[in-house]
Structure 1
């Protein structure tokens, strides 16, 4: 495994970090708890020491699964990353979405990051995670109803109290990161980034390089699209959020798979899977420090971790990017 420093901090994360959204089941058509625990443990055996979760993933389920998976491992050997600012138990802020919990009950989820809410969320996360500190604490989505100053000064308090080690953000623009950084040292911005979603290259990447901020890329495999395993006609389980996203319509599956077919010879030459090639390309992009990779079972998590064994030279990276620039998906 490879490890990289986050921003200008002393926090080091494994370049492939375990993404525990699917582990919580919510929006993924349910979860198999023992499979998720096994996936986390096996990835740790491969050197994946960092795990990214959030309270809203399964409304606490994902954090509890992470805690169970890490039992017996010394706390200083792992880095726990979680989030705040999405409440399903409080109608405050702005409505993010209407959803259903893992039991099929209707829930409303709000983006809210007021001071009192963050303090409560932090305590709840510490309890569920069975730890006394969080390595990287991130606002999950921007909250337009609360001043960034109030939110970030609250996280700064939690850092002083020792409950949080470092502050990060998610889904923030470069401008929002710069504003947040006035009140607490922001070490990272977790944003969606993949071969087929590269819009952050315009503003966020240049800003991050200049300001020495890390980008943590989520959904680098575009939630399964870039694995080569999804073919036209693919059907999703009930409750799977991907069913209505344009990436996964038959035409885009066809176009994406044609692109991936052109990568297969290189993957074969490297003795790698397509997923591993995609992950390696991702962590080689400017300002992308970490790639989050989720897994529903141990086989997937081990395969993701071993993406670091794939080595790509400048010519090979350029070859992939050139092919990628010819891929056009239809919205």
Structure 2
């Protein structure tokens, strides 16, 4: 496994970090707890020491799974990344979405990052995770109803109390990061980045490179689209959020499949899967510190971890990028 320092911090993360959204079941059509626990544990054995979760993933379920999985592992050998600012149990802030929980019950989710809410969320996360501190505490989404200064002051207090080591943000623009920096020193920004979603290359990556901030790329496999296993006509399980996303229209799946077939020879030459090749390309891109890769079972987790062992030459990286630039998806 390869490890990289996050921004200007002393926190070193595995370049493939375990993304625990799917493990929590929510919006992914269900997940077996024992399989998710084993996936995290086997992943750790393979060198994936960093785990990213959030309270909203299964409304606490994902954090509980992470807490169960890391029991017995020396705390200084694992890096726990979690989030705050999405409440399903408090109708306050900016309504984010109507959804259902894992039991199929209707819930409303709010983006809210007020001072008192953050303090409560942190305590709840610490209990679910079974730990005394969180390595990286990240606001999940911008909250337009709360001043950034108030949010970051609350996180600063948690850092002073030793409950949080470093502050991060998710889904922030470069301008929002700059505003947050007036109050706190940010370690990173967690943002969506994949071969078919490269918006951050315009502003966020240049800002992070210039200001020495880490970038945690989430959904690098675009929720399974870039694994090479998805074909037109794919049937999604009930409750799977992907069914309504434009990426998964049959025409787009077909176009992506054609692109992936064109780079298949590179993967075969390295005795790797397409998914592993995609992950390696992602962490090779300028400014990207690590890639979050989700898994609901040990087999998927170990395949993701093995991507770190691949090596791509400058020419191979450029060849993939050139082919990628010819790919156009329909919205």
The answer to whether the superposition gives a TM-score over 0.5 is: yes
- TM-fit CA distance, 1:181: 1.2
Residue of structure 2 equivalent to 1:321: 321
For the pair 1:184 / 2:165, whether they are aligned, the reply is no
Equivalent-residue separation in structure 1 for 2:181 and 2:201 (angstroms): 20
Equivalent-residue separation in structure 2 for 1:261 and 1:154 (angstroms): 48
- TM-fit CA distance, 1:31: 1.2
- TM-fit CA distance, 1:158: 0.3
- TM-fit CA distance, 1:327: 0.3
Equivalent-residue separation in structure 1 for 2:80 and 2:308 (angstroms): 21
Deviation track 1:225-244 (CA, whole Å, cap 9, x = no partner) reads: 00010000001000000001
- TM-fit CA distance, 1:192: 0.2
Equivalent-residue separation in structure 2 for 1:310 and 1:4 (angstroms): 16
Residue of structure 2 equivalent to 1:256: 256
SS at match of 1:184: coil
Equivalent-residue separation in structure 1 for 2:247 and 2:290 (angstroms): 23
For the pair 1:173 / 2:173, whether they are aligned, the reply is yes
For the pair 1:49 / 2:45, whether they are aligned, the reply is no
Residue of structure 1 equivalent to 2:310: 310
- TM-fit CA distance, 1:30: 1.0
Residue of structure 1 equivalent to 2:126: 126
Q: How does 1:152-231 map to 2 (within 5 A)?
A: 152-231=152-231
The ranges of structure 1 where at least 4 consecutive aligned residues each deviate by more than 2 angstroms after the TM superposition are: none
Equivalent-residue separation in structure 1 for 2:276 and 2:40 (angstroms): 18
Equivalent-residue separation in structure 1 for 2:310 and 2:31 (angstroms): 30
Residue of structure 1 equivalent to 2:114: 114
Equivalent-residue separation in structure 1 for 2:266 and 2:8 (angstroms): 35
Unaligned runs of 5+ in 1: none
Deviation track 1:202-247 (CA, whole Å, cap 9, x = no partner) reads: 0011111100001100000000000010000001000000001000
Deviation track 1:29-70 (CA, whole Å, cap 9, x = no partner) reads: 111100100100010000000000000000000000000011
Residue of structure 1 equivalent to 2:80: 80
Residue of structure 2 equivalent to 1:296: 296
Equivalent-residue separation in structure 2 for 1:182 and 1:124 (angstroms): 28
SS at match of 2:92: coil
Aligned residues: 331
SS at match of 2:289: strand
TM-score normalised to structure 2 length? 1.00
Residue of structure 1 equivalent to 2:104: 104
- TM-fit CA distance, 1:313: 0.7
Residue of structure 2 equivalent to 1:35: 35
SS at match of 1:91: coil
SS at match of 2:236: coil
Equivalent-residue separation in structure 2 for 1:19 and 1:8 (angstroms): 23
Equivalent-residue separation in structure 2 for 1:94 and 1:154 (angstroms): 19
Deviation track 1:293-331 (CA, whole Å, cap 9, x = no partner) reads: 000100000000000111001000000000000000000
Equivalent-residue separation in structure 1 for 2:168 and 2:181 (angstroms): 10
Unaligned runs of 5+ in 2: none
SS at match of 1:235: coil
- TM-fit CA distance, 1:182: 1.2
Q: How does 1:135-146 map to 2 (within 5 A)?
A: 135-146=135-146
- TM-fit CA distance, 1:284: 0.5
- TM-fit CA distance, 1:254: 0.3
Deviation track 1:148-184 (CA, whole Å, cap 9, x = no partner) reads: 0000011000000000000000000000011111111
